[in-house]
Chain A
């Protein structure tokens, strides 16, 4: 075979970019968390890199993308064609998606590896400060095996969401974001609220971390989205542009909501808006034109800014808004395909040999594709939520789910990992941002003579 060096080089570079997103996520989540749980928060992302990378090469890739020929079964799972490290296949061309991409199978393997890593890590933002680390590792192992692998197969690997329902997902709106968001919701419903939530002060302990993490996510996301074309062509460029403009628009959308509602535009909001935009444009980036991408971003930024308030209304403690940002943003992007997808941007959409889907509602395709997008997203939501719920209930039953009250109040970093993010002076050592109190960034959590906490909270979201 002839390897296409341009395509392969871009895919390997994209893989590295996507990997960078997970440490970026660790910073984003770590900064949003309280200081006494920052390391645990980041460790959940790093553990996903370790665990999922290894499992992906052992059985993940082959079960997600192996071409299963048994009727029925091929709809939900792959086979063992690529089991382990069969070095003879390293330069074998990846022939899937009906396109002659000229990329070696193992380049595709490593690119998809990074997707699996970050999808698992995304879930962790919901469970900060209170989940047993061993329980998290077991949950990650179980969810990756039972949910991520089959969902990746169903959406991208020849399974029925992609080939029968014909829902489109360019870079992971359903397979990554809706999937992780639904799992996060199930997990927190079983796990319960953090002690003191929502009345206690649980604001971000390091906003510069949040912005740095969002910046790294944004940077890496070009590989996530534009890499997903697997080749370098016009659609790659469109996906790249869409990633930028939708993200920029979502940043503006989220900040606009804050400015109007709370009277002040915040950096946490700008960073969160950017992530919401990245999430929303992910499934659509290779199917829509740049101006609709701007609209998708604006809507995602504004709607996600409002959606993060849902947890207060419904009373579930999704600590860092995985549901509000990834689940909601993923749905927005997935449905947007049904409105704005056009074969003028990506001729593969309506090509019956490639995707055999329809143009969006506003591009002459009627409501066909919108309905397919809804079906695909709903299926992933139900499946991921259901399995995650069972996994969480099993972990709860064997007492591997939640740390003790003492560990949670004292800080999960020291309880679970024996290390702390910051060295506090004794006077400032409450573990709730005390080290930054002197710089005026954080405030110590203090209890007055009546035992009433010094911080109170009301919700305007």
Chain B
């Protein structure tokens, strides 16, 4: 089993969600996070005082899946969240040892 994690721009969330839905992904977890990559932050000016805000608001999307679907899911996320501008985010895949469905106690692929 794999965990696909994507950090994307907040306003790309709907597009990613729809792309994953079209693939038949049953569930996903979304959290609001902050961070920066190569683009660093942005500058805000209040009454002439300039503040550099390094951490930008981002959305983290997490999808648990079996190994067969990983590529399709990664492609769907990358395609749907790409704007071509700096700050589009990252997608990474990690291996998962075990998954348990809390309601039934099912384990492994049955729990996905």
Within 8 A of B (CB), among A381-414: none
CB distance from B44 to the nearest CB of A (A): 7
Scoring A residues 432 to 461 as 1 if CB is less than 8 Å from chain B, else 0, what string do you get?
Answer: 000001101001101000000011111111
* A261 contacts partner chain B, Cβ-Cβ < 8 Å: yes
Count contacts on B: residues with CB < 8 A to the other chain.
16
Scoring A residues 305 to 349 as 1 if CB is less than 8 Å from chain B, else 0, what string do you get?
Answer: 110110010000000010000000000000000000000000000
* A169 contacts partner chain B, Cβ-Cβ < 8 Å: no
Please, how many angstroms separate the alpha-carbon atoms of A456 and B43 in the complex?
10
Contact of A457 with B52 in the complex, beta carbons under 8 Å: yes
Contact of A443 with B50 in the complex, beta carbons under 8 Å: no
Which of B53-61, B67-75, B77-85, B101-109 has 4 or more CB atoms under 8 Å from chain A?
Answer: B53-61
* Contact partner, A456, options B32, B47, B52, B57, Cβ 8 Å: B52
For B47, B49, B52, B55, which residue has the most chain A Cβ atoms within 10 angstroms?
A: B47
* Contact partner, A266, options B32, B46, B54, B55, Cβ 8 Å: B46
Please, how many angstroms separate the alpha-carbon atoms of A444 and B52 in the complex?
13
Please, how many angstroms separate the alpha-carbon atoms of A174 and B55 in the complex?
45
CB distance from B78 to the nearest CB of A (A): 24
* A225 contacts partner chain B, Cβ-Cβ < 8 Å: no
Q: Knowing A454-B54, A454-B55, A455-B54, say if A444 contacts B34 (CB, 8 Å).
A: yes
CB distance from B45 to the nearest CB of A (A): 4
Collect the chain A residues with CB atoms within 8 Å of residue B52's CB: 455-458
Collect the chain B residues with CB atoms within 8 Å of residue A460's CB: 45, 48-50
* B51 contacts partner chain A, Cβ-Cβ < 8 Å: yes
Please, how many angstroms separate the alpha-carbon atoms of A460 and B52 in the complex?
13
For B10, B46, B50, which residue has the most chain A Cβ atoms within 10 angstroms?
A: B46
Contact of B44 with A203 in the complex, beta carbons under 8 Å: yes
* A129 contacts partner chain B, Cβ-Cβ < 8 Å: no
* Contact partner, A261, options B48, B53, B54, B57, Cβ 8 Å: B48
Count contacts on A: residues with CB < 8 A to the other chain.
32
Collect the chain B residues with CB atoms within 8 Å of residue A455's CB: 51-54
Collect the chain B residues with CB atoms within 8 Å of residue A309's CB: 48-49
Collect the chain A residues with CB atoms within 8 Å of residue B47's CB: 268-269, 272, 305, 308, 321, 461
Q: Of all chain B residues, which has the CB nearest A312? A: B49
Please, how many angstroms separate the alpha-carbon atoms of A382 and B32 in the complex?
53
Contact of A258 with B34 in the complex, beta carbons under 8 Å: no
Please, how many angstroms separate the alpha-carbon atoms of A437 and B32 in the complex?
9
Q: Knowing A437-B34, A438-B32, say if A444 contacts B48 (CB, 8 Å).
A: no
Within 8 A of B (CB), among A257-286: 258, 261-262, 264, 266, 268-269, 272
Q: Knowing A437-B34, A444-B34, say if A203 contacts B57 (CB, 8 Å).
A: no
Q: Of all chain B residues, which has the CB nearest A198? A: B49
Please, how many angstroms separate the alpha-carbon atoms of A261 and B46 in the complex?
12
Contact of B34 with A443 in the complex, beta carbons under 8 Å: yes
CB distance from A323 to the nearest CB of B (A): 13
Contact of A305 with B48 in the complex, beta carbons under 8 Å: yes
Collect the chain B residues with CB atoms within 8 Å of residue A446's CB: 55
* A201 contacts partner chain B, Cβ-Cβ < 8 Å: yes
* A125 contacts partner chain B, Cβ-Cβ < 8 Å: no
Please give the residue numbers on chain B whose beta carbons come within 8 Å of chain A beta carbons, in ascending order.
10, 32, 34, 44-55, 57
For the complex of A and B, list the 4 residue pairs with the smallest distance between their C-beta atoms, beginning with the closest. Answer: A461-B48, A262-B45, A203-B46, A309-B48
- For the complex with contacts A454-B54, A454-B55, A457-B52, 15 further pairs of A-B residues with Cβ separation under 8 Å are A201-B51, A258-B45, A305-B47, A308-B47, A437-B34, A437-B57, A438-B57, A440-B10, A443-B53, A456-B52, A458-B52, A459-B48, A459-B49, A460-B50, A461-B48
